[in-house]
Amino acid sequence: MKTYDVIVIGAGNGGLAAAATCAKAGLSTLLLERHNLPGGSASSFVRGRFEFEPSLHELAGVEMVGQQFDNLDAKVDWLTHASTFRLIVPAKEGDKDAFVNENGVRVTVDARMPVGFENFSRKLDELVPGSYESAMKAFELSENMFKAFDALGDGENYAGLPKALPYMPDVMRMTSHTLNEALNALGMPKKAQDIFSTYWCYMGVPGSRFDFLYYMAMQSGYIKNGTGVPRLRSHEMSLAIDKSIRDHGGEIWYNSEVTKVLMRDGKPAGVVVNGSKEVYAKRFICNASPNFVWTDLFEEADVPEKQKRMINARKTAVALTTVYLGMNKTKEELGITDYSVFIAPDSDSDKQFEACQNFFSGYCIINCLNEIIPDCTPKGTSQLFLTTMTSGDVMKGVKPEDYKKFKTKVARDMIETCEKALNISIIPYIEEIEIALPPTFSRYLNTPQGTPYGYMLDKWDSMLPRTIQFMQDQPFDNFLFCGASQERGDGYPSAYYTGEKAARLTIKAIKEGK
């Protein structure tokens, strides 16, 4: 019986990066995936003459992800676009600060924000006078934080520490305070804070709970670099890593679900694939959601108590609902002028988060990929991608036989919200439509409530403490988790990072004969 150096469970972004890193280092690597395609969320699907991007809104430029792909010897045709976001808050009756925007819609906020710290801060100041300095300070803090982290990662044995030290007090301030607390301390006016916090939804944590450090780490990348996407949908990214794994001698088995983990001497020694085939390895990297790993793959007696307690202590992150539209009109004909528009019932991120506990909240992001890739659909057509956040609990009480109607109702509400907020017409021009609710994500990602985001990056369970305590969070010394459930939460580069990191630790252990 062949024993692999490492078995990677799940070919989501984390698992792909883990397997590619291990294979490239010469480890005998087996990547097992329950679906017929790599990538998990990073995929695509075809309906009629349209190929849809299922999950990626934007990469923060392509420099960082490009470096990750270069490290994995994976080639992707990247595209960039000098845009960030447009936030629209439609006015409610009686709103005193309402005005009519360029679309002819009564709004209280319409912020189309440019790329670059300076441009962004100036625009913010234009919209909310007196916010320039605080915005620039926030960006400076994030730049210093990156300098500190770069220095900490420099050389062996903390050789870079002296260079990092001057920045560390601010880093500690940033990570131990929320986005709202920090922006208040910086003296940013409330309305400017709301605009500044627009990207909270990319991690699903509102301003009163999102730590300032991680928010800035994410947001400043988007503001600094603009938008990046692969030319051929995320499927291109996943196939590029798939190729790298195979080119380096790794094996990938698709439609091969791990149905059980086999234990020997109190730790994992192998797995059962599709209920029948046993394969063994020295070490394991697991991209599957911890919740279902413990309930589905392990005997209860083998589940470490610490892991049970951890899962019950943590909060599942938000779930998503997405609508994919193949349109038989161009974006110009439809009247779409932006790649990414955030439509919110209220400008405050906590109120947005609260609203998102229900269906449907009025919160909707609308993306038009043709804005970046004009020929991503046939001539005369375009594709739209609508996203809203929800609590997975919204599915309680929905019976399977009512699900189809429920889906259509949610989609209609989302589309009509976009139609009203942009003063455009969408429904008459829909040629193809797919609707993904939490059960759809559950089916493809196999995560609790279908969340693509892992556990909520709440202020007590935030990125830096997770990172520092990474090894303490792992269940066995030869079994490491990667993916959105880990320290950096969701996002493609975050998942790739966790996979690469788990792989580096695995490679080191194998080389040390462990």
Partner 1 sequence: MASSIKSLKAKKFLPMLGDRRARLKAGENRMPDGTDAARAIALALHPKRQYLKVAQVITRSADCKSYVLVPDLGRGTEKLAYFGAGKYLSVFETIGGSPVNRAYSISSSPKKALEGTYELTVRKVEGGFMSRYIHEHWDVGTLVEVSAPAGNFEYQPLRDAPHVIALAGGSGITPFLSMAQAIADGDEDFTLTLLYGSRDAENILFRDELDIIAQKTDKVRVVHVLSDASPDSLPEGMRQGFLTADLIREFAPANEPYSVFLCGSQQMYAFVDKEIAKLGLEKKYIRHELFGEFHNPASLDDYPENVPETVQITVTVQDETKTVTGSSTDSVMQILEKNGIAVPARCRSGECGFCHSHLLSGEVYVPKHMEFRRLADYPFSCIHPCCSFPLTDLVINVPSAER
> Which residues from 122-161 bind partner 1, rule CB under 8 A?
134, 137, 141
Q: Is 104 in the site for partner 1 (CB under 8 A)?
A: no
SS3 219: helix
Structure tokens at 161: 């520490």
> Which residues from 340-379 bind partner 1, rule CB under 8 A?
none
Among 236, 371, 487, 490, binds partner 1 (CB under 8 A): 236
Q: Considering the complex, state which of residue 256 and residue 361 has its C-beta at the smaller distance from partner 1.
A: 256
Q: Considering the complex, state which of residue 300 and residue 512 has its C-beta at the smaller distance from partner 1.
A: 300
Per-residue string for binding with partner 1, 237-276, x by CB under 8 A?
--xx-xx--x----x-xxxxx---------------xxxx
Q: Considering the complex, state which of residue 89 and residue 418 has its C-beta at the smaller distance from partner 1.
A: 418
Among 208, 328, 330, 337, binds partner 1 (CB under 8 A): 328
| Residue 272 identity (one-letter amino acid) | V
SS3 460: coil
CB of 357 to partner 1, least distance (A): 14
What b/e string do you get for 4-22 counting C-beta neighbours within 10 Å, with b at 16 or more? bbbbbbbbbbbbbbbbbbb
> Which residues from 400-429 bind partner 1, rule CB under 8 A?
400-401, 403-404, 408, 411-412, 415, 427, 429
Among 143, 354, 413, 431, binds partner 1 (CB under 8 A): 431
SS3 31: strand
CB of 216 to partner 1, least distance (A): 11
Site size for partner 1 (CB under 8 A): 105
Q: Considering the complex, state which of residue 133 and residue 477 has its C-beta at the smaller distance from partner 1.
A: 133
Q: Is 96 in the site for partner 1 (CB under 8 A)?
A: no
Let me know: does 445 contact 39? Beta carbons within 8 Å.
no
What b/e string do you get for 53-92 counting C-beta neighbours within 10 Å, with b at 16 or more? bbbbbbbbbbebbeebbeebbbebebebbebbbbbbbbbe
Rounded CA separation 360/449 (Å) = 17
Q: Considering the complex, state which of residue 94 and residue 397 has its C-beta at the smaller distance from partner 1.
A: 397
Q: Is 315 in the site for partner 1 (CB under 8 A)?
A: no
The dihedrals phi and psi of 28, each to the nearest 5 degrees, come to -75, 120
Rounded CA separation 193/174 (Å) = 16
CB of 461 to partner 1, least distance (A): 6
CB of 253 to partner 1, least distance (A): 5
Q: Considering the complex, state which of residue 452 and residue 493 has its C-beta at the smaller distance from partner 1.
A: 452
Among 81, 112, 122, 177, binds partner 1 (CB under 8 A): 177
Among 206, 207, 345, 450, binds partner 1 (CB under 8 A): 450
SS3 176: coil
SS3 103: coil
Q: Which residues, listed in sequence order, are joined to residue 387 by a DSSP beta bridge? A: 322, 365
Rounded CA separation 203/215 (Å) = 9
> Which residues from 45-84 bind partner 1, rule CB under 8 A?
45-49, 51
> Which residues from 182-201 bind partner 1, rule CB under 8 A?
182, 185-187
Instruction: With CA atoms as reference, report the closest residue to 341 among 512, 136, 112, 185.
Output: 112
Q: Considering the complex, state which of residue 186 and residue 422 has its C-beta at the smaller distance from partner 1.
A: 186
Q: Is 90 in the site for partner 1 (CB under 8 A)?
A: no
Question: Which residues lie below 8 Å from residue 1, measured CB to CB, with a gap of 6+?
Answer: 278, 280
Among 6, 245, 311, 341, binds partner 1 (CB under 8 A): 311
Stretch that binds partner 1, among 149-157, 197-205, 312-320, 336-344 (CB under 8 A): 312-320
Among 309, 420, 508, 514, binds partner 1 (CB under 8 A): 309
The dihedrals phi and psi of 65, each to the nearest 5 degrees, come to -65, -35
The dihedrals phi and psi of 10, each to the nearest 5 degrees, come to 100, 125
Among 17, 174, 281, 503, binds partner 1 (CB under 8 A): 174
Let me know: does 320 contact 65? Beta carbons within 8 Å.
no
Q: Considering the complex, state which of residue 87 and residue 436 has its C-beta at the smaller distance from partner 1.
A: 436
CB of 30 to partner 1, least distance (A): 9
The CA–CA distances, whole Å, from 514 to 281, 477, 481, 505, 509 equal 12, 10, 18, 11, 5
Among 224, 282, 314, 501, binds partner 1 (CB under 8 A): 314
Let me know: does 482 contact 15? Beta carbons within 8 Å.
yes
